[in-house]
Amino acid sequence: MTQKITIIGVGLIGGSFSLALQEAGVDAEFIGCGRNEATLRRARERGIVSRYSTSVKEAVADTDLVFLATPVGAMEAVLAELADAVPAHAIITDAGSCKQSVIQAARRQLTLMDRFVPAHPIAGTEHSGVEAGFAALYRNRRVILTPEPDTDQSACDTVQELWLKTGALVEVMSAGRHDKVFAATSHLPHLLAFSLVETLYRMEQKEELLRYAAGGFSDFTRIASSDPVMWRDICLHNSDAVLESITSLREGMDSLVEAIVAEDGKRIEAFFKIAKETRDNKVLNKASQDSPIEQAPVPARLPENPQ
Amino acid sequence: MTQKITIIGVGLIGGSFSLALQEAGVDAEFIGCGRNEATLRRARERGIVSRYSTSVKEAVADTDLVFLATPVGAMEAVLAELADAVPAHAIITDAGSCKQSVIQAARRQLTLMDRFVPAHPIAGTEHSGVEAGFAALYRNRRVILTPEPDTDQSACDTVQELWLKTGALVEVMSAGRHDKVFAATSHLPHLLAFSLVETLYRMEQKEELLRYAAGGFSDFTRIASSDPVMWRDICLHNSDAVLESITSLREGMDSLVEAIVAEDGKRIEAFFKIAKETRDNKVLNKASQDSPIEQAPVPARLPENPQ
């Protein structure tokens, strides 16, 4: 049976989702939706969608599944528009980088939450926009589902199956835990990369400074080329966990500064050693990145909510 | 004429210097020096040096050039040992990441400063040690010479020529300016990478956290795998400029935190936008990394000292 899948937001995340499913041979009609008609036209040219509308109501009217891939800050308005227009059987899922705020928005806007499956694909590049999407984006990447106690099992299964077809690895976590984990491992590094470049920007003779900012600096700040609007929304929508992570980082830096001021070589070295060992043990083995992980079936609800 | 070149510290920096010069066909005898005999033996096996000694006095007794490639913190003790043992005609140069503190140490230990050429190759990997050296390390990388007013022109020329033979691009800067520039563009990013990983290390359920710390995180923290001793020494020997950079970063982060707490989306977005634009304009064009730069002749002294 040909499914209808509506992609709201046809940029890197939405576009890649459609391209990956098509490459996997999923028999579906892809409908695009967004505010910018030129972008939607380009998405049709690229084969991301076969038709489109700038009206949410129109784009979801006969759909089976809505894939929300807008910046997190735009999601509540979209949910408000589609709430009455989407068929009762249709599943709604999202790709937002914060989960608690999106779930809260869905609770405010949707009459029934059972067909809403919150999800977050851990994939991306520093590029964004309709030209950036590609079919392989999700291959071997993790997708985190954060179902709520009232999320329908079959809706969850459908969303999981689609993600598996993109080549992704699906995991389940509570929304609260998700937001803390990604504040520390993703949001914090992004804010640091932005902050580092912003620091250089404020310095005197910055043109000369930046001439020397090559090599390691370039790797280090790659993520500072990410979309400012997306990251603004993450800061606003996961602010508690983000601020907590920043506070924790500051405590570490304060202790490093203290050691530098005290010329305490032993303490400075111990600080760096812990970091190096943690990084070498945990990242270089790349367990989290490359090796396939067990595909556990998605429970209808989490056994417990270990927030 | 066969020169004798003594490499003190046969790790990544010293080893690569020798291998690069040999690959370039430089007719010289390379003599190794270090504290660890097993390392020196391995350096001889790898062809980095043809003979070695654990005694500085012995290793520099008949040398024409000393290349100091120890961590910055070990340099003063080595300079003290070689001061009376090195032939009067021999040039001494170093590869320390901080220049003012090394120059101060040289002034304390050497009777004459005219044959001392302070230098800093802007190259490295996150690996260190005798196995890490390779001939191509310096190719198209910048090497900064920071000659003092009393540095001899011909000594400077000789050091520059050797660096050019490794494939490096040579530039001249005052030591004070050098220390500020690299505090911001190199030392600060390294301290941030170490701090970020140290933050994760302190968090609850860090094993789970680190499982998700892949992708961008891995790039971002690559430099946190660098040698803790080297970075301890940089913190201790360039502390003023390092602390100034950290202060400046904190000011930026404070303003970002303020904006997040105030839910000021415009201000957050503006902060990220400045960073993204700075990064895209200045790093992605890679001017500083890839394009050959003009090889200006090294002046005997800097026209002025724009510290």
Taking CB atoms and an 8 Å cutoff, what residues of chain A touch B236? 260, 263, 265, 268
Same domain assignment for residues A244 and A216:
yes
Interface contact B198-A275, CB threshold 8 A: yes
C-alpha of B275 from chain center: 26
Tell me which of B114, B142, B173 is where a domain ends: B173
Write down the pLDDT at residue B283: 55
Tell me which of A155, A174, A193 is where a domain ends: A174
The answer, for B252 touching chain A at a CB cutoff of 8 Å, is: yes
Extract the runs of DSSP E, i.e. beta strands, from A40-136: 51-53, 65-68, 91-94, 116-117, 119-121
Rounded average pLDDT over B70-96: 96
Q: For residue A183, tell me if it sits in a domain.
A: yes
Q: Which of A218, A239, A269 shows the shortest C-beta gap to B289?
A: A218
Q: Which of A190, A201, A252 shows the shortest C-beta gap to B198?
A: A252
Interface contact A220-B215, CB threshold 8 A: no
Q: A285-307: buried (b, 16+ CB within 10 Å) or exposed (e) per residue?
A: eeebbeeeeeeeebeeebeeeee
Write down the pLDDT at residue B2: 62
What ranges in chain B are assigned the alpha helix state H?
A: 12-23, 37-45, 56-60, 72-82, 100-109, 153-165, 175-182, 188-202, 206-211, 216-220, 228-237, 239-261, 265-282
- Which is more confidently placed, B304 or B118? B118
Write down the pLDDT at residue A282: 67
Q: For residue B291, tell me if it sits in a domain.
A: no
Same domain assignment for residues B79 and B134:
yes
Interface contact A192-B192, CB threshold 8 A: yes
Q: Give CA torsion, residues B21, B23, B24, B30, to 10 deg.
A: 30
Nearest to B120 by CA among B47, B53, B185, B191: B185
Query: Do A213 and B283 touch, CB atoms closer than 8 A?
Result: yes
- In single-letter form, the type of residue at position B158 comes to T
CB pairs under 8 A between A and B: 290
CATH number for the domain that contains residue B80? 3.40.50.720
Query: Do A22 and A3 touch, CB atoms closer than 8 A?
Result: no
| Two tokens, residue B252 | 């930026």
With pLDDT > 70 as the criterion, what percentage of chain A qualifies?
Answer: 90
Query: Do A57 and A82 touch, CB atoms closer than 8 A?
Result: yes
Please check the confidence at residue A211 and state whether its pLDDT lies above 90: no
Q: For residue B299, tell me if it sits in a domain.
A: no
d(CA B127, CA B220): 16
Write down the pLDDT at residue B207: 79
Taking CB atoms and an 8 Å cutoff, what residues of chain B touch A256? 191, 194-195, 235
Query: Do B60 and B6 touch, CB atoms closer than 8 A?
Result: yes
Q: Which of A202, A213, A286 shows the shortest C-beta gap to B283?
A: A213
d(CA A274, CA A251): 15
Taking CB atoms and an 8 Å cutoff, what residues of chain B touch A236? 260, 263, 265, 268
> Chain A: nearest CA to B179, how far in angstroms?
11
Number of domains within chain A: 2
The answer, for B181 touching chain A at a CB cutoff of 8 Å, is: yes
Looking only at the bridges linking them, the beta strands covering A51-53 and A28-33 are parallel
Q: Which of B182, B228, B287 shows the shortest C-beta gap to A269?
A: B228
> Chain B: nearest CA to A150, how far in angstroms?
26
Same domain assignment for residues A61 and A81:
yes
Q: For residue B216, tell me if it sits in a domain.
A: yes
Write down the pLDDT at residue B169: 96
Same domain assignment for residues A143 and A239:
no
Question: In terms of CA atoms, which chain B residue is nearest residue A196?
Answer: B249
A28 burial class (0-12, 13-18, 19+ CB within 10 angstroms)?
A: middle
Q: For residue B292, tell me if it sits in a domain.
A: no
CA angle at B74 for the pair B72 and B77, rounded to the nearest 5°: 130
d(CA A59, CA A9): 12
Mean pLDDT is lowest, of A117-121, A129-133, A207-211, B187-191, for A207-211
| Two tokens, residue B28 | 């010289």
Q: For residue B293, tell me if it sits in a domain.
A: no
Q: For residue A306, tell me if it sits in a domain.
A: no
Nearest to A239 by CA among B256, B282, B37: B256
Q: For residue B263, tell me if it sits in a domain.
A: yes
Same domain assignment for residues B204 and B270:
yes
C-beta neighbour count of A240 within 10 angstroms: 15
pLDDT digits (tens, 9 = 90+) for B204-239: 888 778 878 765 677 788 888 888 999 999 999 999
pLDDT digits (tens, 9 = 90+) for B114-152: 999 999 999 877 788 999 999 999 999 999 999 999 999
Rounded average pLDDT over A143-161: 97
CATH number for the domain that contains residue A189? 1.10.3660.10
Nearest to B99 by CA among B120, B71, B76, B113: B120
Same domain assignment for residues A211 and A68:
no
Rounded average pLDDT over A1-24: 94
d(CA A50, CA A37): 14
For A244, how many CA atoms within 13 A lie in the half-sphere containing its CB? 15
Nearest to A274 by CA among B197, B205, B63, B191: B197
Same domain assignment for residues B100 and B85:
yes
Interface contact A142-B231, CB threshold 8 A: no
Residue that has been written with the tokens 């800061």 in this structure: A235
The answer, for A199 touching chain B at a CB cutoff of 8 Å, is: yes
Nearest to A188 by CA among B244, B163, B168, B220: B220
Same domain assignment for residues A80 and A206:
no
Rounded average pLDDT over A216-240: 89
Tell me which residues of chain B, numbers 41 to 60, contact chain A at a CB-CB cutoff of 8 Å.
none
pLDDT digits (tens, 9 = 90+) for A179-210: 999 999 999 999 999 999 999 999 887 877 88
Nearest to B148 by CA among B109, B114, B108, B125: B114
| Two tokens, residue A105 | 């928005």
d(CA B243, CA B241): 6
Same domain assignment for residues B9 and B152:
yes
pLDDT digits (tens, 9 = 90+) for B248-277: 999 999 999 999 999 999 999 999 999 999
Interface contact B256-A191, CB threshold 8 A: yes
The answer, for B74 touching chain A at a CB cutoff of 8 Å, is: no
CA angle at B154 for the pair B153 and B158, rounded to the nearest 5°: 120
Tell me which residues of chain B, numbers 88 to 107, contact chain A at a CB-CB cutoff of 8 Å.
none
- Which is more confidently placed, B26 or A283? B26
With pLDDT > 70 as the criterion, what percentage of chain B qualifies?
Answer: 90
Write down the pLDDT at residue A290: 39
d(CA A218, CA A245): 24
Same domain assignment for residues A128 and A190:
no
> Chain A: nearest CA to B112, how far in angstroms?
29
Distances (CA, A) of B159 to B22, B68, B224, B234: 15, 12, 31, 23
For B55, how many CA atoms within 13 A lie in the half-sphere containing its CB? 5
Question: In terms of CA atoms, which chain B residue is nearest residue A287?
Answer: B211
Q: What is the mean pLDDT of chain A?
A: 89
Same domain assignment for residues B101 and B139:
yes
Taking CB atoms and an 8 Å cutoff, what residues of chain A touch B257? 243, 246
Write down the pLDDT at residue A123: 86
Tell me which of B173, B195, B226 is where a domain ends: B173
The interface predicted TM-score (ipTM) is: 0.82
| Confidence class for position A216, pLDDT limits 50, 70, 90 | low
Host domain of residue A51: 3-174
d(CA A97, CA A233): 9
Interface probe for B, chosen from A126, A181, A185 (most Cβ of B below 10 Å), is A185
Same domain assignment for residues B133 and B224:
no
| Confidence class for position B307, pLDDT limits 50, 70, 90 | very low
Nearest to B240 by CA among B302, B172, B175: B175
Query: Do A168 and A142 touch, CB atoms closer than 8 A?
Result: yes
The answer, for A231 touching chain B at a CB cutoff of 8 Å, is: yes
Interface contact A275-B123, CB threshold 8 A: no
Taking CB atoms and an 8 Å cutoff, what residues of chain B touch A250? 250, 253
pTM of the model: 0.81
Distances (CA, A) of B120 to A246, A301, B48, B146, B169: 33, 58, 20, 8, 11
Residue that has been written with the tokens 């000789």 in this structure: B158
Q: Give CA torsion, residues A89, A94, A98, A102, to 10 deg.
A: -40
Query: Do A289 and B217 touch, CB atoms closer than 8 A?
Result: no
The answer, for B213 touching chain A at a CB cutoff of 8 Å, is: yes
DSSP string, B206-270: HHHHHHT--THHHHHTGGGGS-HHHHHHHHHHSHHHHHHHHHHHHHHHHHHHHHHHTT-HHHHHH
Interface contact B236-A263, CB threshold 8 A: yes
